[in-house]
Amino acid sequence: MVKISLFDLFSPTVKEIEIHDHCLTKKIYQQAMFDQIIAENAGKRQGTHSTLTKSEVSGGGKKPFAQKHTGRARQGSIRNPHWVGGGVCFGPKPNRNYKLKLNAKIAKIALKSALTLKFKTKAIYALDDNFIKKDKNLHTKDFAKFLLAKNMLNKRVLFVFDFTNNLIVKKVKNIKKVVGKNWNQISTQDVLKANFIIFQNQALKKIMEKIG
């Protein structure tokens, strides 16, 4: 069993909760994390970049110079790829799909390894659910004061929530270097990039069920 601190957004009181060992990996699978991050980055690529081929470049309808007796190699068009301003040979075209297929088991192990790494470095904390009752009166400064009190201000902090309340997520994102996401949206890269991860208590339970 691993114990982590349970913070209260409006109180300095700190409690402890336990995380079952089956939610953690016995070793850190670096290759799985590497493959998952490569797949995540590849999936973000839009594939909309485009270059003009020889047939799409304007101009070049006329043969640039005579076929013979010039002392130069014969040329048919200034639109050829080796000419400045000519078409691009084998260049990228739109609608290219860069997504990589990754086994679901590997993706799960990667996220589990990343979380285990953060647990070992004591970078994961939980947040009591009582702040949800005050969501209408909740402001960015409330989260900023909380982070300042915990010496986490100006650090890369990932808040993980159990709801899709865009208003609260926006309030969190207003703080420099802070990211707010729903528990089913976090990626291996999000976990590894963060200096600290603060789970809403309910969100932590759900993510542990998912990777357990």
Report the number of distinct structural domains present in the chain.
Answer: 2
Domain that holds residue 148: 2-45+99-211
Pair (24, 106) in one structural domain:
yes
59 shares its domain with 29: no
**30: Cβ–Cβ under 8 A, 6 or more apart, which residues?**
113
Residue 171 and residue 129 share a domain: yes
Smallest Cα–Cα separation from 197: which of 168, 165, 160? 160
- Mean pLDDT for 184-207 is 93
Together in a domain, 205 and 159: yes
Does 174 lie in the same domain as 106? yes
Question: pTM of whole model > 0.85?
Answer: no
The yes-or-no verdict on residue 209 having pLDDT over 70 is yes
Helix, strand or coil for residue 41?
helix
pLDDT in the model for residue 106? 94
